[in-house]
Amino acid sequence: MSVFDNLVGQEHVVEIIKNAVAESTSQSMTHAWVFTGPPGSGRSSAAVAFAQALVCTNNGCGTCNACKSAANGAHPDVEIIRTEGLSIKIDEVRELLARVAWAPSMGGWRVVVMEDADRLTESAANALLKAIEEPGNRTVWLLCAPTLHDVLPTIRSRCRHLQLVTPSNSAVAQVLQNRDGISPQMADFAARVSQGHIGRARYLANNEAVRNTRTTIMKLPLTLNGISSAFAAAQTLVDLATEQANEAAEERNQTEIDDLSLAYGKGATGRGMATGGSKAIKELEKEQKTRNTRMVRDGLDAALLDIATFYRDVMMVQSGTTDSLINKELEEQITSYAQKTKPHTTINKINAIMAARTNLGHNAAPLLTIEALMCVLAR
């Protein structure tokens, strides 16, 4: 067993990391790395595996205390930064730099994994840059981002780049069967519709409610036959994304507030909270709201990607092939839709979906963006 077992279809990256770990005791160790790859390719899993291998005495066995604690954030020399908000601000980077300023406790490397380096503000990135460039430091920086363009040039020019690829459907299906005990049919379906996104495939395979939501979403393009159906479809999509975000947030938000109240002494002596308590709670609530907004956007983005596979399949049929459809379950409906429309309108629709995703990424109002898109798709 090894921490690299989880990296599906990334053999080239694993080899580079293993070599770096083997040479990590020498002077030539690279201090800053950037992992890029499409969503679900496992860029943060790769970075975390690298971190584990650097602090494990057995090059990342996956079973020792160092390996386990590094992965769950309990290792004193490994820091995993996951962002809930929309950006990583300079204050957060300064706090991080203060925490990692000490020499590594175990005498090896201190490792920082930053999962969303693309969310660094410019000033935060500049603060980070100074730390990366500092001579003689014992910290290894593992930054993750969708593409190299998402990382500021000043940072990326100091990093060694590792590019992850989308694993094949069959590789994903194999992992779902072998590791998660999912039936072959379900594994094939989940891998196919998730297009190499292993996390989504696993989630889909294990969760009937999620599969039902997907079925609802995939039927929306077939309902679009005019303006009123377009507005209805937009509302359905936004409602589904909001519902999902709320469900995920409800329990977690309350737990966080309870924990924070407790930290400020609420309930312990029957008296109120210590000074600063209510201010801290207000700040937490603000963060939770930001996180919720982001989760709705992420949910909509995933739904749009699913809808794009419908038009992608339509295009396949229009160009004469049906053997590699993503939505095999809808083959009949897709074929009849393809006969009623023209290839160039299909391409326009796919482009419109991608443009809407970009707009959502730039904080455009969700409902308005989706409504405008659905009107285009309904044409």
Q: Which residues of the shown chain bind Zn ion in the complex (CB under 5 A)? A: 56, 58, 61, 64, 67
Shortest distance, position 13 Cβ to Zn ion, whole Å: 19
- If one counts every other C-beta atom within 10 angstroms of the C-beta of residue 72, the result is 10
Instruction: Give the residue with the Cβ less far from Zn ion, 5 or 258.
Output: 5
Q: Which is nearer to Zn ion, 47 or 67 (CB)?
A: 67
Least CB distance from residue 52 to Zn ion, whole Å?
7
Cβ proximity to Zn ion: between 54 and 127 the closer is 54
Minimum separation from the CB atom of position 54 to Zn ion (A): 10
Residue with the CB atom nearest Zn ion in the bound state: 56
Q: Which is nearer to Zn ion, 61 or 372 (CB)?
A: 61
Q: How far is the CB of 104 from Zn ion (least distance, A)?
A: 16
Rounded to 10 degrees, the C-alpha dihedral 308/313/315/319 comes to 160
Instruction: Give the shortest CB-49-to-Zn ion separation in angstroms.
Output: 11
Closer residue to Zn ion (CB): 58 or 212: 58
Between 56 and 375, CB nearer to Zn ion: 56
To Zn ion, the closest distance from the beta carbon of 56 in angstroms equals: 3
